Structure 1
Amino acid sequence: MASQPSRSAASPAPTTDPKELRRVAVSSLLGTSMEWYDYFLYGLFAALIFNELFFPSLPGAAGTVLALLTFAIGFVARPLGGLIFGHLGDRFGRKATLIATLTIIGMATGLIGLLPTYDQIGVAAPILLATLRFIQGLSLGGEWGGAILMVVEHAPPEKRAIYGAMPQLGSPIGTVMSSGIVALVTLLPEEALMSWGWRVPFLLSFVMLAIAMYLRLKVEESPVFQQLQSEQKAGEDKRAKVPIAELLRTSLPQIVLVIITSLFASGGFFLMTTYAVNYGTAVLEMAPWLVLTATLVGAVAEGIAIIISGRLADRFTPAQVVTGGGIVALLMTIPIVFLLGSGSAVLAALAIVLGIGVLGLPYGPLGTLLSQLFDHSHRYSGVAVSYNIAGLIGGFVPSLALLLQTRLGDTVWVIGLMFAIIVGMTAIGGALSGKAVRRRQALAAGAAD
C-alpha cells in the first residue's frame, strides 16, 4: 500500500535567506565528510593491517576475512541507528539529532586510535575494536539521512537536487581525506606504522569533531519540522507518534525501492575500494601507495560526477538521472574488468578510478530522490532505515567477494560480476522509484484540488 498524501505532503516555504542556505549546505557537507572519513578510514586499515594488529594468530586469509567482517559490523549497526535516530529526527527535530550523531561517531573513531592491540591485551582488543566499529555504524545510520533532509528541506524546489548533492560530496571528500592520510602514514617505516603511525588518522577525528560541531550548532532547524511543530501548537500534530510503525504501515513498497536503488552506494563503492585495495595489494601485488592513490583520484572523479548529476537532476528529475547513472555504470563494467586483468599496475589503478568515479552519477541526486518517496511525518525514519538496510547488505560485499575469490580463484570477474549486478539494480530501482514519485505527486495534487 503506497503512502497516502496528507496536508503535510505539500512542502512548506523553503529557506529564503541565501546565507542561511549556504550555512546549512556547508554544515551538512562538513558533517558528512567527517562521518565518511571516519567510516572509510576503518575500511582501509581493515584491508591493509588490522589483520596483523588485532588478528595475528589466525592462519592464511582468515585474519583478513575477520578484519573485513569487523568492517561489516558497522553496516549491521546502521539500520538500528536509522531506526533510533530516525525516530528522534521525526519526533524532536533534525538539528538535535544530527548533533548527536556527529558527536558519537567522532568520539568512537578517536577512541579506535587509542586502542591497545592484540599483542598488548589479547582477545579483548578485537572485541573493543568491533564494539567501536558498531558504534560508528550506529551513528552513521542516522547521519546521512538527516544531513540530506536538512539541505533538501531548506532548498527551493528548483535547486533541491544540486543542494541535495552537497552532503553526497561528503563521501568523496571523506575518501580523499582518509586515503590521503593513510597513504602518508604507510610511507613510514613498517615498525613505526605498526606501533603508532596507524593511530594518527583516527586521533585526528577529535579535531575534526570540534570544527564540524561548531558549524552544525549554527544552523537553523528544517522548515519542514518547524511546520510540524507549528501544527502541533495549533492542535493539529502531524508528527507520527511511532514513525517506524507508520512507515511500515504505509510505505513498504518505498522501502523496497530504496533498498534496490541504493545498494550501489555501499556495495558498489566498497567493492571498488575496500575489496579492490585488498585484491590489488594481495593478488595483483600492486604497491599500497598506488592502490590508495587510485582510490583518492577516483574519489575526485566521483565528486565531479556528483556535481554534474546534481545539476542534471534539477534540469530533468532525480529519478531519471539515478536511472541513467546506473546504466552508464553498467556499461563501464567491461572496460573496468579488462583493465584490472591487463597485468599492468597502472591500468589496474585506472580501473579503480573509473569504478569509483562512475558511481558518482547515480549518487549525486540519490538523497533528493529518496526524500520524495516518503511523507513528512515519517520521512527521516523512511530515508534512514531503508537506506541503511541497503547499507547493511552492501557492507558484506567485500567479505562476499573475498570468499568468492577463495572458491573461484584470483579472477577479476568476481569484481565484474558483482559490480554489474549491483549497478543494474540501481538502474531498475531508479526507474521504478520515478514512477512511485510521479504517482505520489499526482495523489498530492488531487488532494490539494
Structure 2
Amino acid sequence: MAEQGQGGSHLAHVALTSFIGTTIEWYDFILFGVAAATVFDKLFFPALSPNAGTLASFATFGVAFVARPFGAALFGHFGDRIGRKPIFILTLLITCVGTLGIGLLPTYAAIGLWAPALLLMTRLMQGVAVGGEWGGAVLMVVEHAPPSKRGFYGAWPQAGAYLALALSNGAFYLVGLLPEEQFLSWGWRIPFLASVVLFFVGLYARRHVLESPAFRDVRESGRRPVVPLIQLFRTQKRGLIIGCASLGAANISFYVATVFILSYGPETVGISQKAVLSSIVVAALVAVPLNLLGAAISDRVGRKRLIIGGAIFTAVLAFPFFWLFDTGNPFLVGVALVLMVAVSSAVTYAPLSSFIAELFDARVRYTGAALSYQLAGTVLAGPSPFIATALYSKAGSPWVTAVYIMAGCGITVVALLPRWQKPERLGDVDHRGASRR
C-alpha cells in the first residue's frame, strides 16, 4: 500500500520542499506580526493613543486567524477531492500576493481610514491562504513517510515555521538599522516586497513533488467523499476536538513570546527592540534542529506522551520566563526566549503535525488536519497578543500573562490525558510512534 511510505530519495525531496515552502509562507505570515508590534500602530493607527494603537495593530494581526478556518475548509475540500499537490502550490501563490499587497499599501497619512481597511483586506488574504497551507505541507510529508518515521519527517514543515520566524525578525532587525525617518517612510516595506523572491524559490521546489500516495490510494479506490467537511463532522468530530485542544500549549506560549514581547520589552522592561528581535532570531534558529530532534523522539516514545510532557514544562516555565525577561539583561532575555521558543516548542509543537494527521483517515485528512490546526489558531493563537496586552494593561504586572500561558497548557493536558481517542487512522503499524500517542 502507498500508505506505508515512499522511497528515500523522493521522501527527502518532499521533506525539503515542505520545509522551504512552509518557511516562505510563514515568513509572510509572521512578518505581519513583527510589523504589528513595531511599526503598524504608527503608520496605520496614528490617531490612537500608543496603547490603543498597539491593540488595534494586534487586532488586525488576529483577523487572519479568523480567516484561517475558512481557508482550511475551502482548501481542505479541494485537497481531499483533487489532491494535495495543486493546493500545495496555490496557497503559496495567494500568500505571496497578500504580502506584496501589504508592502505596497499607502499609509494613514496618505489615504486616511482606507489604509487600515486595505491592511485588513490583505491580512485576510494571508489568513485564507495559510489556512490551507499547513495541512498540505504536513500531509505531503507525513503521507509519504514510513510509519516509524512520520514524526521526524512531519516536523520538517514545523521546523520551517521557526526558520521563517528567524528570517522575519532578522529582516526587521536589518531595516530597523536605517534612520527612523527612512524606516517609517520606506524601509519597513522591504521585508514584505522581498517575499516575491522567496515565492519563486518555493514554486520551483514544489512543482517537482509527486502527489501524496495516500491520496492516490483514495482516488483509485473511488472513495473520495463528495463534501469532505460533512463527512468529517459526521464521522470524526472527536479527532477535530482533540486536534484543536492539543495546540493550546504551543500556540499561546509561542505568540506571547514572539509577538506580545516585541512591544512589552521596549515599552515596559526598557530593553531595546533590536535586542529583542535579535534574541528571537537566535531562539528561532535553535528551535529548527530541536524541533526535528523532538519529533524524532516522538517516533520512539509516542506523540501524546511527549506533548503532555512539553505542556507541563511550558506551564512550569511561564513565571520564570517573565522573571528572566524583566531583568532587562540581554543575555537573560535570550535565555528566556530560547527556553520558551526553542526548547518548549521541541516538545509541544514538533510532534503535532504527525499527531494531528494520525487522527483522521485519508478520505478527509486534509480537511480534518487543516481545520483542527486553524480553528485552534482562531481560538487560541490569534487573540494571544491582544489578550496578553489587555491582561497586562489591566493588572500592571506580567503574572496574569504567565497564568494565561499556563491556562493554554492546561487545555492541552486535559484534552490528551483521557484515553477516549480512537485508534490512529494513518496505518496501525508503528505502535510506539503512532498508535501509542
Give 1:152 deviation, angstroms. Answer: 0.4
Alignment-derived partner of residue 122 in structure 1 = 112
Alignment-derived partner of residue 6 in structure 1 = none
Distance in 2, Cα, partners of 1:384 & 1:41: 21
Alignment-derived partner of residue 152 in structure 2 = 162
Alignment-derived partner of residue 253 in structure 2 = 268
Give 1:428 deviation, angstroms. Answer: 3.2
Moved more, 71-80 or 316-325: 316-325
Alignment-mate amino acid for residue 330 of structure 1: A
Alignment-mate amino acid for residue 357 of structure 2: S
Distance in 1, Cα, partners of 2:38 & 2:332: 21
Alignment-derived partner of residue 33 in structure 1 = 23
Alignment-mate amino acid for residue 37 of structure 2: A
1:284 aligns with 2:275: no
Alignment-mate amino acid for residue 119 of structure 2: L
**8 Å CA contact retained: 2:359, 2:424:** no
Any stretches of 5+ residues in structure 2 without a counterpart? 431-437
Alignment-derived partner of residue 413 in structure 2 = 427
For 2:339, which of 324, 344, 354 is the aligned residue?
354
Alignment-derived partner of residue 434 in structure 2 = none
1:62 aligns with 2:49: no
1:36-79 CA-partner distances (Å, limit 9, x unpaired) = 11111100110011001011111231111111100001101100
Distance in 2, Cα, partners of 1:255 & 1:138: 19
1:308-341 CA-partner distances (Å, limit 9, x unpaired) = 2111011122222222222222222232132123
Alignment-mate amino acid for residue 249 of structure 2: F
CA RMSD of aligned residues (A): 1.9
Alignment-derived partner of residue 358 in structure 2 = 372
SS of the equivalent of 1:438 reads coil
Alignment-mate amino acid for residue 236 of structure 2: S
Alignment-derived partner of residue 5 in structure 2 = 14
**8 Å CA contact retained: 2:359, 2:426:** no
Alignment-mate amino acid for residue 28 of structure 1: S
**8 Å CA contact retained: 1:108, 1:136:** yes
For 2:367, which of 368, 375, 381 is the aligned residue?
381
Alignment-derived partner of residue 86 in structure 2 = 96
Give 1:107 deviation, angstroms. Answer: 1.4
SS of the equivalent of 1:246 reads helix
Alignment-derived partner of residue 47 in structure 1 = 37
**8 Å CA contact retained: 2:151, 2:298:** yes
TM-score (norm 2): 0.94
Distance in 1, Cα, partners of 2:10 & 2:84: 16
SS of the equivalent of 2:271 reads coil
1:196-246 CA-partner distances (Å, limit 9, x unpaired) = 100000001111001100110000000011111211xxxxx2111100001
Superposition pairs of residues 202-217 of structure 1, within 5 angstroms: 202-217=192-207
Question: Given the superposition, is the C-alpha separation of residues 184 and 324 from structure 1 closer, same or farther in structure 2, using an over 3 Å criterion?
Answer: same
Give 1:170 deviation, angstroms. Answer: 1.1
SS of the equivalent of 1:154 reads coil
Distance in 2, Cα, partners of 1:388 & 1:271: 18
Alignment-derived partner of residue 127 in structure 2 = 137
Distance in 2, Cα, partners of 1:96 & 1:264: 32
Moved more, 265-274 or 47-56: 265-274
Alignment-derived partner of residue 328 in structure 1 = 313
TM-score (norm 1): 0.91
Alignment-mate amino acid for residue 409 of structure 2: V
Alignment-mate amino acid for residue 151 of structure 2: A
Distance in 2, Cα, partners of 1:264 & 1:206: 33
Superposition pairs of residues 174-193 of structure 1, within 5 angstroms: 174-193=164-183
Alignment-derived partner of residue 414 in structure 1 = 400
Question: Given the superposition, is the C-alpha separation of residues 441 and 383 from structure 1 closer, same or farther in structure 2, using an over 3 Å criterion?
Answer: closer
Give 1:263 deviation, angstroms. Answer: 2.6
Alignment-mate amino acid for residue 77 of structure 2: H
Alignment-derived partner of residue 7 in structure 1 = none
Alignment-mate amino acid for residue 422 of structure 1: G
Distance in 1, Cα, partners of 2:424 & 2:37: 44
Alignment-mate amino acid for residue 79 of structure 1: P
**8 Å CA contact retained: 1:340, 1:412:** no
Moved more, 317-326 or 222-231: 317-326
1:398 aligns with 2:370: no
Question: Given the superposition, is the C-alpha separation of residues 111 and 440 from structure 1 closer, same or farther in structure 2, using an over 3 Å criterion?
Answer: closer
Q: Percent identity?
A: 38
Distance in 1, Cα, partners of 2:33 & 2:151: 29
1:259 aligns with 2:244: yes
Alignment-derived partner of residue 4 in structure 1 = none
For 2:292, which of 288, 294, 307 is the aligned residue?
307
Any stretches of 5+ residues in structure 1 without a counterpart? 1-9, 232-236
Alignment-derived partner of residue 152 in structure 1 = 142
Question: Given the superposition, is the C-alpha separation of residues 32 and 430 from structure 1 closer, same or farther in structure 2, using an over 3 Å criterion?
Answer: farther
